[in-house]
A = this chain, B = another copy of it.
């Protein structure tokens, strides 16, 4: 049994791309405790595998995901039977663990592409907001469902969505909890493309992943790290960080490789990153 066997996800390898598919189709891939521990565990393993260069995130069955499994709410109710200050402390810690499961997407060195079909609601929005790119099939629909059940979304939607799309639109979606379709999601910039069918959806996502996998994985990791840094800092700070990053990471090998390939009218091939354990400290 492989480390990549998972109680929640189906893990498929397509060359340098890995497809992580939520695999609880009978429950619309509702997010169980297993989901929350498996997602960061798998991403950590893939991050450490230098042959992985991109991840595509999909869902088995009719829907991408219906969000948090309802059983969670009974657990919360049970928790608050106890001393309320200590319960609040335990609750905060748990919310942070859930948030961290999605931040693992951001922490990964490779792009994570969400390929969405059917429902993507509640926790699903939190999750895709942490991805690097998002594609959907025409039947996909979305809702910041949390407000409809009396709560403020707390695992990333309010933090990341208004930094991806217009904050004015994000606010309206968060306050009203209204359902919106793939077409609107494309128009507001949440999606970068909409495919006609689900089959095409996964193909398009894998093709995008393949394109990215052909680039230098070191440069891709640099872009991802610096985009995240720049989102959260002013421009002067971002420039300084970028210069400091490339001072260490930009070396002539990849450049020369690319230039020579271009002159030879060939595709450049870029070496993988070093394997885990190349530095024993």
Contact = CB atoms under 8 A, between A and B. Distances in A.
B167 A227 contact: yes
**Chain A binding surface, main DSSP class:** helix
B166 A164 contact: yes
A131 to B, nearest CB: 9
B89 A249 contact: yes
Contacts of A176: 208, 211-212
Contacts of A79: 274, 278-279
A45 interface: no
Contacts of A156: 235, 239
Contact of A92 (B83, B86, B151, B247): B247
Contact of A219 (B88, B150, B222, B240): B150
A212 to B, nearest CB: 5
A156 B244 CA distance: 13
| Centre residue among A85, A134, A149, A151 by max chain B CB count within 10 A | A85
A150 B254 contact: yes
Contacts of A165: 166, 168
A219 B162 CA distance: 18
Contacts of A246: 91-92, 95, 151-152, 154
Interface in A240-281: 240-259, 262, 268, 270-271, 273-274, 278-281
Interface string A70-83: 10110111111011
Contacts of A222: 151-152
Contacts of A91: 246-248, 250, 279
A15 to B, nearest CB: 17
A278 to B, nearest CB: 5
Contacts of A82: 274, 278
Contacts of A219: 146-147, 150-152
A191 to B, nearest CB: 8
Given A80-B84, A219-B147, A241-B241, A163 B281 contact: no
A172 B113 CA distance: 10
B163 A167 contact: yes
B132 A255 contact: no
Interface in A150-204: 150-154, 156, 158-160, 162-172, 174-177, 189-190, 192
14 contacts: A85-B250, A90-B279, A91-B247, A99-B242, A147-B216, A148-B215, A150-B218, A150-B254, A150-B257, A150-B270, A159-B230, A165-B168, A176-B208, A233-B234
